[in-house]
C-alpha cells in the first residue's frame, strides 16, 4: 500500500541486487593508495610534533626536550600500524589511519599542554602508553581478523559480554557521582567504552539476520506494522537492560549514545521510517522523564538553559560557564597553544572538557579542523558501509561510524552549551585509557571493513 | 539499505553542521560578551601577566612590579609610596586603580593603541605589548620639600610652573603607601579597610579632590575683580570703607585682626589683609563681576582634569549682599582646591594667562620612544595684564613687609598672600591656614613657580598671621627648590 515502491526496492536489496551508485564506488578499481596513507601519516605526525614544540616554545621559550622522543614514538606507532595495514588490509581506506593518528597526536599535545598547568599531575605519559596499547590492539585486530564476517558468529556472545561489562561497575564505588569505573590495582578502566563495540557487533549481526522479519512480519498497529515479538524481543530486551544499567550508573551520555545507535541501525536495517518516529518519541519521553525525575539530570538541564546562573547567584562560574569562557576566548584564531587559560575549568579539563582547550588555543579555525577530522572518519565509515555487499558488514560500518558521530556530538555539544552536558570522553582527544583503546579498535574494524569493501569483487575476502 | 545509509550519513552531516554553527556562535558572535563577563578571569590574568609600565618622576621610576608567581602574576610596587601617592594613586588587583594609575592605565598596561606600531598585527598574534612609561611633570626636590614641610600635619601643597601649567608638586598628608593595596591577599584587604576607616582619610587626595574655604587668600581674586572692573583705579587711594563693617541688610558687624583698616587703601588692605575693606569692595564690584572674575580663574568650572578629575571650586552666583561680602573674603560658600589656589597665584605670575595644569609630561613605549607629548595649553586670559602688574606688586609687598614675611627668599622676587579660613558649624573647627605665592629668580623676567599651601590644623591660632606662620615656610621651601630647578635651566637630568 503506502510505500510499496520502497518495499520493492528493499526486496531487491535483500536479493543481493545493489544500487547502481554502489557499483560506482566498488567499480572504481582496486586502488590500494597505501602511498597516500603513508604521506598523510607523515603529515599527521609532523603536525603533532609541531604542536608539541609550539607548546614548549610558548611555555618555556625552548623546544621541549621530549620533542624528539615524542615525535619518534608517535612516528613509530604510525609506521607500525601502517605496515600492518599494508600487509593485511592493502585496499583499506587511506584516510582512516591518518585521521586517527592526527586526532590521537593532537590529544597528546593538548594533554601535555594542560600538564604544564598541573606539575603534580602529569597525564601525557600515561596517555602515550595507552595510545601504544591502543595501536597494539589495532594491529592485533588488523592482523588477526581476516574477515569481518567472522564476528557475526559471535553475535550473542558479544551481546552478553557487553551486558556483563556494563554491569561490572555497579559493584565498584562510584566516582564523581557515576558508577563507570572499575579499579583493579592502580588501573581504572571504563568497561562501558568497550561495550560500545560489542553492542555494535551484536546489533549489526542480529539485525542483519532478522531484518526481513523485522520489516515485514507482524501485526499492524495504527499506520505501521510492528514486527513479531519473537523477532523484536531479544533486541528490545538487551537494549532496555543496557539502558537501565546505564541509568543506574547515571551515565546518561552513554545511554543516549546506545539509544541513538539502536535507532539508526534499526532504521538502516529495516528501511522503515516508522522506527525513526518511534525512536524519537521514546527518546524524547525518556529524556523528559530523566530530566524531571533524576535530580542529577535536572541540574544538567538547568545548567544548559542558564549557564551563567551560578555567577548571578554569586557562586562564581561553574564548569560549563568556564568552558564557554574558554571557547569564547579563542575567537577566530585562538590564543596559540600553551597561551590559553582553559585550566580554569578545573576538574576534567583534560578529559571531558579537553575540547575547550582546543577551542581556546586553536580558535574557531582549529576547532573546525578537529570537527572536520571527525567528519572525515565518520564519512569514510559510511562510505565503507555503502561499499560493502553483506548486510552485517554494512550495518557494522554504519554502527561504528554512528557511534563516533554521536559521541562527538553529545560531548562537543555538551561542553559548548548546544545540548545538556553529559560526561563522556572526546574520542582520541580526551585523557582516558579505555576510551583511546576502544577508539583504536573501532578504527581497526573500519580498516578491515573498508579493505573488504574496496577490494576487487572477484578477489573476495582473504 | 543504501538509501537509509545515505539518510543516516546526512543526519551525521547535520550534527557536524550544528556543531560548527554553534562553535561560530560561541567563538565569534557571543565571544565579546563572554570575554567581558566579570566572572571570567582571563582579562585579569592577561593584565597582570606582564610587568606594568612605570611612572617616572624626574627621570627615575617611582613604581615597579614584583613577580609573585601567582595566577595574577605581577603586583605593583612603589618607591617612596606615601610621597608620590597623590600623583600615582594605587593599582590594585582587587580595588581597581586611581589617579595616574587609572587615567594612564592603557599606556601602563600596554593596551594603548599608541604603543602598537601595527595594531592589526597585535590582534592577530595576540602578543601582549609591554607596558609603556609615563613621565610626570613633578619635580622631585619640590615634592620632597612640600612633603617634609607638611610633616605630620593634615594639609596639601600644589605647585605649578606659571608659564606652562606643569604641576611641579602635588602633595597630600597624611598619605599612605599604595603598595599595600597592590595584591589580592588578605593583607591587602586589611589595609584597605584600615585606610578607608581612618579618620584622617589618608587616601583622600586633598590637593585636587578636597575643597576648603580659601579665606583671605581669595582676596587676590577680589582685588583682580575690583581692578578689572575699574572700581579701584588707584591702589593708594582711600577706599571709603568703615571699620567695623556692618554687613548690608544685617546687624552683623565684621571686624579686623589688624589695625588701620578704616578707609585704608587697597595696598594697605592687601598687605595687612583687611577683611572690612575687601568685604566692602566685593559688594561694590557686584555679584556679576565678582562671579565672572572667579569663574575666569577657574571657579565653578566642572570637568577640569590633570588628567585625573579635579574637584570643582565654588563661588556662589546667587547671593544677597551680606553673603557676597563674606564670599569676597573667601568665606561663606566660597571653596577652593589647593590646586585651584595655585592656579590663582600662577595666573598672577603669568600676567593673567591661566594655563591648564597638567601632570603628564610625556608617555613613551617600553623602549623609551615618545608616543605622546602633551603641549602646554592656555585656558584663558583671566584678567588684564595691567591688573596683573598691580597684583604682583601687591603680592610682593605682602612678603616684603606684610603678613607673608616668612616666605621671603633672599635673591628672589617673591609675591604671596596669606589666608586663614574658619569653618565648621559656628566656626568651631580648626582653621585652615593658607599661603599662595609665586617666586621669580632675580635674574629672570618671569616667575618660575607658583605654589598653594593649605594646612588644616594651624594650631588654633585664629588670626591672619597663621597663614604666614604655618603655611608660608612650607611654600618658601617648595619655591626655593623650584628656584634651584629654574636656575638649572628648568630641566632635570
What is the distance in angstroms between the Cα of B365 and the nearest Cα belonging to chain A?
A: 24
Angstrom distance (rounded) from CA B414 to CA B416: 7
Quick: pLDDT tens for A328-358. Answer: 999 999 999 999 999 998 888 888 899 999 9
**CB nearest B35 (choices: A18, A329, A385):** A329
Q: Which of A22, A324, A413 is closest, CB to CB, to B2?
A: A22
Q: What is the pLDDT of residue B459?
A: 59
User: Domain of B434?
Assistant: 209-487
**Residue B81 belongs to some domain of the structure:** no
Q: Which residues pair with B336 in a beta bridge?
A: B212
Residue B490 pLDDT exceeds 70 = no
The answer to whether the Cβ–Cβ distance between B35 and A328 falls below 8 Å is yes
Count the helices and strands in chain B (H runs, E runs). 19, 18
Confidence label for A109 from pLDDT (cuts 50, 70 and 90): very high
Position B384 in a domain: yes
Q: Is B174 helix (H, G, I), strand (E, B) or coil?
A: coil
A22 — pLDDT class (breaks 50, 70, 90): very low
CB contact under 8 A, B35 and A321: no
In a domain, B387, yes or no: yes
- Say if residue A426's pLDDT is above 60: yes
Which residues, other chains included, contact A378 with Cβ-Cβ below 8 Å and sequence gap of 6+?
A: A401, A402, A404, A405, A408, B9, B12, B16
pLDDT digits (tens, 9 = 90+) for B64-118: 999 998 889 999 999 999 999 999 999 999 999 999 999 999 999 988 888 877 7
Residue A5 distance to chain B (closest CA, Å): 13
Q: What is the structure's pLDDT at B452?
A: 97
CB-based burial of residue B430 (10 Å sphere; 0-12 exposed, 13-18 middle, 19+ buried)?
A: middle
Does residue B419 belong to any structural domain of this protein? yes
Tens digit of each residue's pLDDT (9 = 90 or more) over B27-44: 999 999 999 998 899 988
Does the pLDDT value for residue A386 go beyond 70? yes
B37 part of contact set with chain A, CB < 8 Å = yes
Closest residue on chain A to B44 (Cα): A341
Res. B456 pLDDT band, cuts 50 70 90: confident
Residue that wins the pLDDT comparison between B382 and A274: B382
Q: Which of A304, A328, A408, A412 to mutate to test the interface with B (most CBs of B within 10 A)?
A: A328
* Angle, in degrees to the nearest 10, between helices B140-150 and B81-88: 110
Among B6, B17, B27, most A C-beta atoms within 10 A, so best to mutate, is B27
Mean pLDDT over residues B217-244, rounded? 90
Question: CB–CB of B39 and A316 under 8 A?
Answer: yes
Question: How many C-beta neighbours within 10 Å does residue A281 have?
Answer: 10
Which is nearest to B433 in space by CA: B419, B450, B417? B419
Asked whether the predicted pLDDT for residue A240 surpasses 80, the reply is no
ipTM: 0.89
SS3 content of chain A, % helix, strand, coil (to 5): 70, 5, 25
**Domain ranges, ordered by start, for chain A:** 4-459
B93 vs B50, B76, B191, CA distance in Å? Answer: 13, 9, 14
In a domain, B189, yes or no: no
Let me know if B112 is a catalytic residue: no
Cross-chain Cβ contact B5/A378 below 8 Å: no
- Work out how many domains chain B is built from and give that number: 1
Under an 8 A CB cutoff, do B9 and A379 touch?
Answer: yes
Q: Are B382 and B352 in contact (CB under 8 A)?
A: yes
Most confident of the ranges A18-32, B179-193, B451-465:
B179-193
Is B197 part of any domain? no
Chain A residues with CB-CB distance to B2 below 8 A: 13, 18-19, 21-22, 386
Q: How many Å lie between the alpha carbon of A127 and the closest alpha carbon of chain B?
A: 26
- B36 falls within a domain: no
The answer to whether B31 faces chain A, any CB pair under 8 Å, is yes
**Binary contact (A394, B4; C-beta < 8 A):** no
For position B478, which CATH number holds? Answer: 3.40.710.10
Mean pLDDT confidence for B330-337: 91
Q: Which residues of B touch A412 (CB under 8 A)?
A: 19
pLDDT at A311 exceeding the cut of 70: yes
- When pLDDT is cut at 50, 70 and 90, the band that residue A11 belongs to is very low
Inspect the interface and report whether the beta carbons of B27 and A364 lie closer than 8 Å.
Answer: yes
User: Is residue B102, in this structure, part of any structural domain at all?
Assistant: no
Could A364 and B8 be called an inter-chain contact, meaning their C-beta atoms sit closer than 8 Å? no
Q: B19: which chain A residues are within 8 Å (Cβ-Cβ)?
A: 371, 408-409, 412-413, 416, 418
CA B418 remoteness from chain centre: 20
Q: What pLDDT does B254 receive?
A: 85
- From the candidates B65, B92, B182, B216, give the one annotated as an active-site residue: B216
| pTM of the shown model | 0.78
Amino acid at each position: 500500500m503506502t510505500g510499496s515502491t520502497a518495499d520493492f526496492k528493499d526486496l531487491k536489496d535483500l536479493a543481493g541486487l545493489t544500487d547502481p551508485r554502489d557499483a560506482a564506488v566498488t567499480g572504481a578499481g582496486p586502488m590500494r593508495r597505501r602511498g597516500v596513507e603513508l604521506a598523510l601519516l607523515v603529515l599527521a605526525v609532523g603536525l603533532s610534533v609541531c604542536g608539541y614544540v609550539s607548546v614548549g616554545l610558548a611555555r618555556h621559550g625552548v623546544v621541549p626536550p621530549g620533542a624528539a622522543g615524542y615525535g619518534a614514538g608517535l612516528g613509530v606507532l604510525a609506521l607500525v600500524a601502517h605496515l600492518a595495514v599494508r600487509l593485511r588490509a592493502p585496499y583499506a581506506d587511506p584516510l582512516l589511519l591518518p585521521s586517527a593518528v592526527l586526532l590521537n597526536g593532537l590529544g597528546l599535545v593538548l594533554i601535555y599542554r594542560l600538564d604544564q598547568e598541573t606539575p603534580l599531575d602529569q597525564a601525557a605519559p600515561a596517555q602515550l602508553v595507552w595510545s601504544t596499547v591502543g595501536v597494539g590492539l589495532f594491529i592485533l585486530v588488523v592482523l588477526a581478523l581476516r574477515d569481518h564476517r567472522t564476528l557475526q558468529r559471535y553475535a550473542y556472545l558479544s551481546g552478553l559480554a557487553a551486558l556483563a561489562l556494563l554491569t561490572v561497575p555497579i559493584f565498584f564505588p562510584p566516582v564523581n557521582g557515576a558508577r563507570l569505573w572499575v579499579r583493579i590495582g592502580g588501573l581504572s578502566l571504563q568497561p562501558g567504552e568497550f561495550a560500545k563495540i560489542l553492542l555494535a557487533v551484536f546489533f549489526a549481526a542480529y539485525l542483519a539476520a532478522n531484518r526481513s522479519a523485522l520489516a515485514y512480519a507482524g501485526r499492524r498497529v495504527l499506520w505501521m506494522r510492528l514486527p513479531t515479538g519473537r523477532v523484536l524481543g531479544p533486541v528490545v530486551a538487551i537494549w532496555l537492560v543496557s539502558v537501565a544499567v546505564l541509568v543506574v550508573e547515571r551515565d546518561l551520555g552513554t545511554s543516549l549514545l546506545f539509544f541513538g545507535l539502536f535507532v539508526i541501525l534499526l532504521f538502516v536495517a529495516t528501511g522503515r521510517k516508522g522506527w525513526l518516529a518511534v525512536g524519537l518519541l521514546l527518546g524524547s519521553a525518556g529524556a523528559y522523564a530523566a530530566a524531571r525525575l533524576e535530580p542529577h539530570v535536572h541540574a544538567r538541564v538547568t545548567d544548559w538553559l542558564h549557564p551563567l546562573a551560578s555567577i548571578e547567584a554569586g557562586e562564581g562560574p561553574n564548569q560549563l560557564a568556564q568552558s564557554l569562557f574558554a571557547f569564547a576566548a579563542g575567537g577566530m584564531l585562538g590564543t596559540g597553544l600553551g597561551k590559553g587559560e582553559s585550566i580554569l575549568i578545573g576538574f576534567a579539563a583534560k578529559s571531558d572538557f579537553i575540547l575547550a582547550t582546543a577551542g581556546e588555543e586553536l580558535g574557531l579555525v582549529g576547532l573546525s579542523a578537529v570537527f572536520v577530522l571527525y567528519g572525515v572518519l565518520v564519512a569514510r565509515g559510511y562510505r565503507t558501509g555503502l561499499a560493502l555487499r553483506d548486510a552485517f558488514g554494512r550495518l557494522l560500518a554504519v554502527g561504528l561510524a554512528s557511534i563516533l558521530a554521536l559521541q562527538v556530538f553529545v560531548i562537543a555539544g555538551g561542553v559548548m552549551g548546544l545540548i545538556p552536558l553529559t560526561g563522556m570522553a572526546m574520542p582520541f582527544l580526551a585523557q582516558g585509557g579505555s576510551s583511546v583503546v576502544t577508539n583504536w579498535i573501532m578504527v581497526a574494524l573500519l580498516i578491515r571493513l573498508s579493505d573488504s569493501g574496496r577490494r576487487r569483487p572477484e578477489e573476495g575476502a582473504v | 539499505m543504501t538509501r537509509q545509509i545515505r539518510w543516516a550519513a546526512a543526519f551525521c552531516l547535520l550534527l557536524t553542521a550544528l556543531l560548527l554553527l554553534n562553535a561560530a556562535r560561541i567563538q565569534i558572535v557571543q565571544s565579546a560578551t563572554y570575554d567581558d563577563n566579570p566572572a571570567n578571569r582571563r582579562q585579569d590574568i592577561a593584565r597582570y601577566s606582564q610587568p606594568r609600565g612605570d611612572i617616572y618622576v624626574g627621570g627615575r621610576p617611582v613604581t615597579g612590579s614584583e613577580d609573585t608567581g601567582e595566577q595574577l602574576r605581577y603586583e605593583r610596587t612603589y618607591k617612596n609610596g606615601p610621597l608620590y601617592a597623590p600623583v600615582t594613586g594605587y593599582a590594585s588587583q582587587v580595588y581597581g586603580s586611581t589617579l595616574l594609575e587609572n587615567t594612564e592605565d592603557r599606556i601602563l598596561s600596554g593596551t594603548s593603541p599608541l604603543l602598537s606600531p601595527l595594531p592589526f598585527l597585535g590582534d592577530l598574534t595576540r602578543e601582549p605589548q609591554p607596558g609603556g612609561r609615563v613621565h610626570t611633570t613633578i619635580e622631585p626636590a619640590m615634592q620632597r620639600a612640600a612633603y617634609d614641610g607638611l610633616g605630620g600635619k593634615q594639609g596639601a601643597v600644589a605647585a605649578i610652573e606659571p608659564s606652562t601649567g606643569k604641576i611641579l608638586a602635588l602633595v597630600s598628608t597624611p598619605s599612605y603607601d599604595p603598595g599595600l593595596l597592590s595584591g589580592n591577599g588578605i593583607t591587602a584587604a586589611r589595609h584597605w579597610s584600615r585606610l578607608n576607616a581612618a579618620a584622617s582619610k589618608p587616601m583622600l587626595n586633598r590637593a585636587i579632590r578636597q575643597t576648603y574655604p580659601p579665606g583671605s587668600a581669595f582676596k587676590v581674586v577680589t582685588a583682580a575683580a575690583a581692578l578689572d572692573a575699574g572700581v579701584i583705579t588707584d591702589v593708594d587711594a582711600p577706599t571709603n570703607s568703615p571699620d567695623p563693617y556692618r554687613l548690608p541688610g544685617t546687624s552683623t558687624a565684621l571686624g579686623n585682626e589688624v589695625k588701620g583698616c578704616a578707609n585704608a587703601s587697597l595696598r594697605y588692605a592687601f598687605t595687612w589683609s583687611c577683611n572690612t575693606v575687601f568685604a566692602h569692595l566685593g559688594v561694590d564690584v557686584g555679584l556679576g563681576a565678582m562671579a565672572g572674575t572667579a569663574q575666569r580663574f577657574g571657579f565653578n568650572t566642572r570637568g577640569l582634569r590633570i588628567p585625573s578629575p579635579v574637584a570643582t571650586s565654588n563661588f556662589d552666583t546667587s547671593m544677597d549682599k551680606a553673603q557676597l561680602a563674606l564670599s569676597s573674603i573667601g568665606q561663606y560658600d566660597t571653596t577652593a582646591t589647593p590646586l585651584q589656589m595655585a592656579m590663582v597665584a600662577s595666573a598672577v605670575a603669568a600676567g593673567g594667562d591661566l594655563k591648564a595644569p597638567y601632570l603628564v609630561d610625556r608617555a613613551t613605549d617600553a623602549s623609551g620612544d615618545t608616543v605622546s607629548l602633551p603641549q602646554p595649553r592656555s585656558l584663558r586670559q583671566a584678567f588684564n595684564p595691567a591688573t596683573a602688574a598691580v597684583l604682583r606688586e601687591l603680592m610682593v609687598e605682602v612678603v616684603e613687609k606684610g603678613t607673608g614675611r616668612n616666605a621671603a627668599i633672599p635673591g628672589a622676587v617673591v609675591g604671596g598672600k596669606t589666608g586663614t579660613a574658619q569653618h565648621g558649624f559656628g566656626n568651631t573647627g580648626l582653621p585652615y591656614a593658607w599661603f599662595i605665592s609665586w617666586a621669580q629668580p632675580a635674574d629672570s623676567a618671569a616667575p618660575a613657580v607658583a605654589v598653594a599651601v593649605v594646612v588644616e590644623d594651624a594650631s588654633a591660632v585664629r588670626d591672619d598671621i597663621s597663614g604666614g606662620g604655618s603655611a608660608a615656610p612650607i611654600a618658601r621651601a617648595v619655591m626655593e627648590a623650584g628656584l634651584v630647578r629654574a636656575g638649572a635651566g628648568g630641566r632635570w637630568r
